[in-house]
A and B are shown apart, each in its own frame.
Chain A
Amino acid sequence: MDEPGASLPADSSTSGASLTRDDVARLAHLARIDLTDAELDHLAPQLAVILDAVTAVSAVTADDMPVTSHPLPLRNVTRPDVVMPSLAPDEALAGAPATEQQRFSVPRILEEEA
């Protein structure tokens, strides 16, 4: 069960956090990028500088401010439940690195999806 709120902390007291080399390694793993040691050495300090700059947002008093996740005030944009043509399977599969039995062939998967 994914409890809403589980990854949304209630307070914003974490501002001012800094990014260490280990943090960057962990984030890169979460983002599925296999960074080399040399890249970690190179990127981690740059990211720390950038993070420091963007942490400026915490200087704004905006506790009661509504969030804007979108610049447009649009609501209820839907389409009717009407079937449209799909791609032909050969078009769908055309860009695939590997195919087999009209399916996308992917490397071995370690774990069932949770």
Chain B
Amino acid sequence: MTDLTHLSAAELDAALSRGEVSSVEVTSAALERIAAVDPAVHAFLHVDAQGACAQAAAADERRAAGESTPLLGVPVAVKDVLTTRGLPTTCGSRILEGWMPPYDATVVARLRAAGMPILGKTNMDEFAMGSSTEHSAYGPTHNPWDLERIPGGSGGGSAAAVAAFEAPLAIGTDTGGSIRQPGAVTGTVGVKPTYGGVSRYGLVALASSLDQAGPVARTVLDAALLHDIIAGHDVRDSTSIDTAWPSMADAARRGSVDGLRIGVVRELTGAGYQPGVQARFEDAVDLLVKAGADIVEVSCPHFDYAFAAYYLILPSEASSNLAKFDAMRYGLRVLPEAVDPTAENVMAATREAGFGDEVKRRIILGTFALSSGYYDAYYGQAQKVRTLICRDFAAAFEQADVLVSPTAPTTAFRIGDKLDDPLAMYLNDVATIPANLAGVPGMSVPSGLADEDGLPTGVQVLAPAMHDDRMYAVAAALESLLLEAAGAPLLDRLPDLQGAR
């Protein structure tokens, strides 16, 4: 019998509809795979075998009763930054160790309503701050392509789980690339929807005006199927878009680029991009041309400042969002030894003990950028630059229907390589950040392996806000062009993980 863990979500869905397999079988297979490979990969912070099996059984009952909604019974992993009622939610931080939220995030509630068993919670950089998952307080996740390397971040756990066939699907969150960059370096598909497309209720906020949850998958169609389940208006999120969205799955199935104008963003290629990354990107562009797309070069001059604006806006919002972790109502409480244990001192001692270096760096930077006397020069100026970036996008989308670029400037680097150089770490997000600042959708599609190191690379597809369906259509077309050229899915070349470490 086929290894169930290697089937796509769409294939599983079809097999479940035909009654060839049960959700219990599919879910058990995933749990067995997790048990076998996760000691080496460490994609999960918490595995809920019992809960997942119960949900799988319930899904089978629904199927037996004649229900056949999309992905009913297909298991999913959830990044540990989304609240799950009765399941620990740590955000990769000591300060939330053991916290059991009394409520489900809207995304999680929708997964449950769709009958998708939740396998567990995936590892991440602490409070989603990072591009390598090394900043998790619970140890790094390892890239299934090379266990000595990072899986990207902050959602390295979700990407690695999907790449390592531990889960057919996962949920990630993307504030500056945390879905897309891990997708690129693990050879998976990662989607950041239009800001406001997916509810943020229950997504533990890093930067509220940038955060967006989205699908992590092995194929574009799988991502689209998951997207259709989690997206849509939510009255609990004031920034949620109240509109009827077209089906992303239909767009992915349609998959065409013929006659489309595809813009290559000058500022997101060339210098600073690893040659193998650049080469795979150019191959992808060539394929698109052959398939009938018009390639236009567009310039977005203010993208050069996106990184700086982002690293002011994000820390500013984060410094405020993370103030709630203060030892008073939930989470860790540390009593200081040297000083009087007043509320103020307990807060300071707890935040000192409970937060890692990267969180402290960003909170301090954000506190500075918002502080009296510096607000206009830093936070205020960054918001103006944000306006210019939005305008650059608007101008570019007048010339092109979608934009493309490499997703990340490099392939996966070695664990530990950039830990002491925060700035170098931040530069991993240089191509993904603009989409968050402007709220436009973006996704990463695997584009092959870099010649110099044999590691996965990704192509980013960006579309205008609200046009996520166009992005899926282009990505699906590109995916099939690449598959045709390569002869087999990229992940077929994943090294054997069984028995590793």
Contact = CB atoms under 8 A, between A and B. Distances in A.
Q: In the complex, is A directly touching B at CB under 8 Å?
A: yes
Interface of A: 6-15, 17, 19, 23-24, 27-36, 39, 42-43, 46-47, 49-51, 53-60, 62, 65-72, 74, 77, 79, 87, 91-92, 94-98, 104, 106-110
Contact of A27 (B367, B384, B438): B367
Contact of B329 (A14, A71, A96): A96
B209 interface: yes
A72 B378 contact: no
A96 B330 contact: yes
B387 A57 contact: no
B344 A32 contact: yes
Interface of B: 99-100, 102-103, 195-196, 209, 235, 238-239, 241, 302, 305, 307-309, 311-312, 319, 323, 326-333, 335-336, 340-349, 351-352, 355, 357, 360-361, 363-365, 367-368, 371-378, 380-388, 390, 422-423, 426, 437-439, 465
A53 B423 contact: yes
8 contacts: A9-B373, A11-B376, A27-B371, A43-B361, A47-B364, A50-B311, A60-B381, A107-B346
A6 B372 CA distance: 8
B365 A51 contact: yes
Nearest 8 CB-CB pairs, A to B?
Answer: A71-B439, A95-B330, A7-B372, A67-B383, A62-B384, A97-B333, A34-B348, A56-B308
A38 to B, nearest CB: 11
B377 A12 contact: yes
B311 A33 contact: no
Nearest to A23: B368
A108 B342 contact: yes
A54 B312 contact: yes
B248 to A, nearest CB: 19
B375 A68 contact: no
Contacts of A28: 360, 364
Contacts of A24: 364
Contact of B377 (A15, A23, A29): A15
A104 to B, nearest CB: 6
Contacts of B196: 71-72, 74
Nearest to A13: B377
A14 B364 contact: no
A29 B339 CA distance: 14
A33 B195 contact: no
A56 B351 contact: no
A69 B438 CA distance: 10
Contacts of B351: 31-34
Contacts of A62: 381, 384-385, 387-388
B364 A8 contact: no
B437 A95 contact: no
Given A17-B377, A97-B330, 12 more contacts: A12-B380, A33-B355, A43-B360, A51-B365, A53-B423, A57-B312, A68-B386, A72-B465, A74-B238, A79-B235, A95-B99, A95-B329
